[in-house]
Amino acid sequence: MSQPDLESVSVPSVLVKKPQMNVYTVMLIVALLSLLLACLFLYLEIREYGGWGVVKGRIAAVTAPMLDLARSTWV
CA pair distance 37, 45, nearest whole angstrom: 12
Give the predicted TM-score (pTM) of the model: 0.49
58, 66 Cβ separation under 8 angstroms: no
| Pairs from 67-74 (Cβ < 8 Å, separation ≥ 24) | none
Q: How much is the CA Rg of the chain, to the nearest whole Å?
A: 32
Task: Give the pLDDT score at 35.
Answer: 98
> What contacts 42, CB < 8 A, 6 or more positions away?
none
The list of the chain residues with pLDDT below 70 reads 1-14, 55-75
Q: What percent of the chain has pLDDT over 90?
A: 32
